Amino acid sequence: MKEQTKKRIRCAGIFLFALYMGMLVYFLFFAESYGRAGELEREYRYNLKLFREIHRFWVYRDQVGTLAMVLNIFGNVVGFIPFGYILPIIDHRLRNWLLIVVNGFSLSLCVEVAQLIFRVGSFDVDDLMLNTLGALLGYILFWICNEIRRRFYGKTI
């Protein structure tokens, strides 16, 4: 692949990653439609027991609604897939599943701590696990796409 093409792909990746991070920050901290409490109603909420919230959303799916259950469980996974997919495009040193998992977990931990400190959402270990799984799935998707591309066009980006 030509160096200029590689440069364009990386620039597009950087742009998409910045756009993704902006949208992630908006949805996690500012979007009122995702269960954010009013300023006076905010309190510290946290869950330190793995699978507690996943189980709660599943058991009470009729009461909380299917959309809330899907957004909580699958939204956390899907929300971090772009993280695991775009990072290896931007930086070839991040083409290692373990680095993506560690970075995905680190970003998720920062988000969860910020949500606890600023009392938007809650600190939830289930979210840490689901977000990290999303980053890993994004990397697996990148790896599959890269392998297909390599078989058709040769060398990696």
18-58 pLDDT, tens digit per residue, is: 999 999 999 888 887 655 555 545 677 888 999 999 999 88
Any idea which of 6-10, 23-27, 60-64, 111-115 has the lowest mean pLDDT?
A: 60-64
Backbone angles phi, psi at 123, to 5 degrees: -80, 120
Q: Which helix (H) or strand (E) holds 50?
A: none
Domain count, the chain: 1
pLDDT digits (tens, 9 = 90+) for 72-105: 889 999 999 999 999 999 999 999 999 999 999 9
Beta-carbon neighbour count of residue 29 at 10 Å?
15
Domain range for 138 is 3-37+45-153
Could you tell me the two tokens for 124? 């939830």
Please say whether the dihedral angle defined by the alpha carbons of residues 133, 63, 111 and 26, taken in this order, is positive or negative: positive
pLDDT at 133 over 50: yes
